[in-house]
Structure 1
Amino acid sequence: MPAESTPEPGIPGESGTSAPRRRAKGRRRKTRSTRRKALLITAWTAAGIVVLGGTGAGYVYFKLNNNLKSVDINQALGTDRPTKVDNGSENILVLGSDTRSGSNKKLGGGTDDGSARSDTAMIVHVYKGHKKASVVSMPRDTLIDRPECTDTKGVTHDAASGVMFNEAYSTGGAACTVKTVESLTGLRMDHYLEVDFAGFEKLINELGGVPITTTKDIKDADSHLNLKAGSHTLNGQQALGLVRTRHGVGDGSDLGRIQLQQAFIKALVNQVKHIGVLSSPKKLYDLANTATKAVTTDSDIGSVTDLASFANGLKGISSSNMNMVTMPVQYDPANANRVIVEKAKARLVWDALKNDRPIPASATKGTATGDAKGVVTAS
């Protein structure tokens, strides 16, 4: 976004815009358009990491800025954290939140008592140069030892042993989740990004859907998903059903759902690439407006300008340069509905990321998978 620009009151593309429009041609128009369209980060979901186009100044800037919600993770966690590794890489914790209150109630699945869980969690490691990334999904059903943590309201929560991973979020929100991830991995999380169910659904609809191909039928009454084998362009409701389904594919576990999520994220990243050629300022504004309403970030990227700068550094990462794995786990012998960390193999993952190296294939060989790989691919 340029340092100096003429404010354009109103929403771009609608009546009321009083500032003169620039009508450059050919190559110069493309360059000027690129300068005026800041990239905004939304979700990689259950979501996941998605880069969108934003636009405008003046009213538009303040409107989008007021949409954003942020949490001060650094203040809540203090200094008792892993040391930040200064090698040009970044670690981003991305959550898909399962808050069953407000507009999320109608989406169904699980409780509707207003409680919150981290339905999806991923560590996104962006390598030096910001051309490649590794994404490590954290199964929500993993039994872990949660450390003592202080939430962003200043309330301290006692440590707990043998609890599910997503219990950290329901106990202490973003701060306790970051604390738990850093305790498990030994990695410093540089940023935090969260998207909720309702925002995710709206975002997919604003994108015009996401093309995927299924190699077999997927039917799951719990997630309201019914797809025949073949090509589909998923709308928001269908996409939400896909990233939440677990009974319609694979072994019916959370691990199978993670494999579907990872495939969908790649399809979503491919679809987002088309945003760069959109010519409608109104369309870009609608996308940015939906995206900024859908996310919660850490306070370091809690403004439109900071978020745009951060996202601009990620725009060179294509789906073909994303290595997606699941934290090495095995099914718990005492409870087939839970998994436990394979600590030795997991250490190979965390050491690789800490040293900004690719995750070795040996780190995930022989671990539990969910048996849903290849069921969904990007069209």
Structure 2
Amino acid sequence: MRWFIFISVYILVDIYAFQAVKTLTRNPFVYGIYILLSLAVLGALIYELSAMGAGKNMSVSTMYIFGAFLALFVPKLLLVIFMFAEDIGRFFVGAYMKVAGSSETPFMASRRKFVSTLALGIAAIPFASLIYGMIQGRYNYKVLKYALEFDDLPEEFNGFTLTQISDVHIGSFSNRNKVEYAVNLINEQESDMIVFTGDLVNNLAEEMDDWKGLFSTLKAPQGVFSVLGNHDYGDYVKWNSASEKVENLNRLKSIQREMGWDLLLNENRFITKNGQKIALVGVENWGENGFKKAGDLNKACEGISKEDFKILLSHDPSHWQSEVKKDPRNFHLTLSGHTHGMQFGIDVPGVFKWSPIKYRYENWAGIYQEFGRYINVNRGFGFLGYPGRVGMWPEITVIKLIKKSTSN
């Protein structure tokens, strides 16, 4: 039944959008290309989604087909809005003219052509943007730098820098040179510490087999630390047995250790400098709205006092909003990811940012502060679903900690 509804909506939108094309040209070759592309994308998408079955494990080919679907369907939706608005206007004008007793027709071919031309011009913007996002946008890595001030930061950590990456989703990548460039860019920041906040893979530990050598080159004086994200647990795969799923997770944990990463599983580490320390706390995924909730903040804080300066790694920013920001233990800085900024939006750093994901997550990209505590939501290193990025570029975050009394 769901396929019937989906196909029906797709065809109705397609037919209506096609009216804009027919208004501008009567070339049968153009008609044929339009129809063939529409049918090819629809057929490929249905085939790929059917092949997925009950699981949510999207292959690279599925993502590309989904991307092609979006690149064609979103512009058509815009065409429908324009054409439908013109039809509604013509309907009311016609009704008024009929009541007024006028014999003139409300249809004007020149106006219809103008609306069609305008609609096609505007529809070309999301089409070009989505295509660009798949070709270049997903590799348009941005280094975003912040300096955060704290009254109680230990003196020895004044000027301490950390680089955060998140949501690698390595199973989505195919261009090694681009990923290698990004890894080198991370190292070039020469931060004191590197942290990774979850979703290393899409679903399977084996996705890292060809990449672990590259990611093991990430180095920092104080180490590389990581936590798990919701995709790392393999919850979106139809496993043959429970033991197979456990084995997959254990392998992923082992891979991170082999790369030299210190994986924090509801635990903490003290980072020390000349007798002073800060606490790095890492929880397993803690999510809402159906996402895995394996994080245990109490367990992760064992051996830490309220007075210790604390940095928390927690993949899902809803954890900060629900529990962390008001926790009396005072987590000075929380580092999260998960949202990807929806891989689509408008982002002018320091001026304006918007993405549809903001209607689901209160904290979805960048730095937020409440009660004197900060969270940074990293926009992600990789991509999933739509194989690209538009406006919300892949991010490498560099944060400098400043002791407020010495900031000047």
Q: TM-score, normalised by structure 2?
A: 0.23
Greater relative CO (CA pairs within 8 A, separation 6+): 1
TM-score (norm 1): 0.25
- Whichever structure has more strand as a proportion of its residues is 1
Identify the structure with the greater helix proportion.
2
Larger Rg: 2
